[in-house]
Structure 1
Amino acid sequence: MKLLQVENLKTTFHIDAGQVQAVRGISFHVEKGESIGIVGESGSGKSVSMLSLLKLLPDNATLTADNILFDGAQMVNTSQKAMRKMLGRDIGMIFQDPMTSLNPLFTVGEQIIEPLRIHQKLSKEAARQRAIEILRMVEIPSPEKRLKQYPHEFSGGMRQRVMIAIALSCSPKLLIADEPTTALDVTIQAQILDLMRDLKDKLNVSIVMITHDLGVIANMCNRIIVMYGGTIVEQGTTREIFYKPRHPYTWGLLRSIPQFTEGEKKKLISIPGSPPDLLRPPAGCAFTSRCPYAMKVCEKQPPQSVALSETHQAACWLMHPKAANHMREVIG
């Protein structure tokens, strides 16, 4: 059953130099209880697409969509006031840097208790007990003591656990995690991912994880959405994306993951060139200038998304029947 359904979402930023088309007509859905990953380079539109859904955009941004349904409710024209009620209660968000997301002037306890008082109308003591419970759930030791401490008294990994605690405090239906492990070392990254996976199963919350690293979500997500140049270029189950990728950009992302094969040394292959200028997006496929398999049609017309299975789609001219022979040569 679909918890979130988005159709033809577009987000544009109006600046002095023109209009930055940050998100250019994406469509996707999130099932109840599942985890999906949204991957791509910086500037691909991953974070902006999620912030657009939550109406957390600056004044110079405009948003349009054919449809945004959350748990059956239409969100396209939802007011800021109504969205504030939903945030924290129905949708939780973990931001990228916990040190800048947590208020240094308030204790951790105050920052967990506030949404509980606002959204669940709990008394001060009931909210405090719930805060202790949620800190214990995210495996922070001595939660009664930690409630009285300030963010600077926590390590990076502990601050990220506090952010998870705040996001989950009101038992939301959807949790959006924006690069939740970027600033952490590898060991702490693994602990945070294990924690999120355990909490997802325990609380039956849907998760959207935003990242630039396919390796981070390999064992975390059921499905993966690959974004580039403000568009979705490929989406499918985790197995399909890792073992049957069909878009050249996805191939590039996979080649950039370190491979540890006994007795073999493999170089990491970077994707040449730079992402497109979304002030002046290309007329055709956004990946054309960096794609070693680009054809003339790629420069002139954007490709349509082609269904490769019930769960797997890719938007690439290599999928066109007339390019079948070329595609066979490319994938061997």
Structure 2
Amino acid sequence: MNIIEYIDQDYAGHGLQSQKLYLAVPKHGIASASSIPVVVYIHGGGWIGGNFAAGARGLATERADAAAFLEAGYAVAIINYRLSTEAKWTAQIHDCKAAIRFLRANAARYGIDPERIVAWGASAGAHLAQFMGLTNDDLRYEGPATAFPEANRASSRVNLVISAFGIADIARWALPGSRNLEVEGYKSMLLGDHYTEAQAKDASPIERIDALAPGSMVPMLLMHADNDDLVPCEQTHWLEQRLRDAGYGDRIETWYPHIGGHGDPAVWRSPAATSRFVSFCDRHLDATTESDLLRAISLGLGSAA
């Protein structure tokens, strides 16, 4: 695949490997007169693992799902963030937003479109992607300034969210029997020992819906396998229902395969999945571009020619 790779891009300027991103850009995007959209992948791992090592290459091409985006003409960023072993909540969402601001501020350098950015995550990464989409322009989650003034002035807004088997409601995430010790371990590492229900709700994307500003709800593709034995499928059903109850049913799409477990590559990186991901982005980003053009025309900033 003909791409340009940008390795270990320090998006906060603090020299931490946990605040670096990898970016793969199709070469035709660099040469094109118009920049290309970027999909930003946020990894799972219970907020305690999953960061890539220094010098890692091929992170997008080695994954069938990320490679499908590259083949479709998208750039793919894969971000590290401070894990709960390094910093407690809200450091994780602060880092995700800092990465978006950095990409937007450096869009011309990378050949990516600063107005077409997708947050895509799986499991704990889907929790963060959901949070990104539900807190656009919410200054509470921007975090401290990075070492890059231009990035600090940029927006952390995302245009779309792709959420695969995500944790929407930390307060209600539980499993029966001894398996719940694993879940409680993840939650305690993220929120701290002896965390309260109020803290768990505060860190839950589902609790951000009521605070959405008018017109700020972005399209979301919500997906979960019925047989997920780590993050029950109800997590995504709860989020879907809350969004529908709030009047955002026209902004969400869903996919609930009967099998797929918690990230089974045979399902989640299959052509059936990747074609769904790409077509969702194609449709909604095209609509975003058209609406932006119409808005510019109405303001006298462009012409229909």
TM-score (norm 2): 0.29
**Higher relative strand content:** 1
**Higher RCO, 1 or 2 (CA under 8 Å, sep at least 6)?**
1
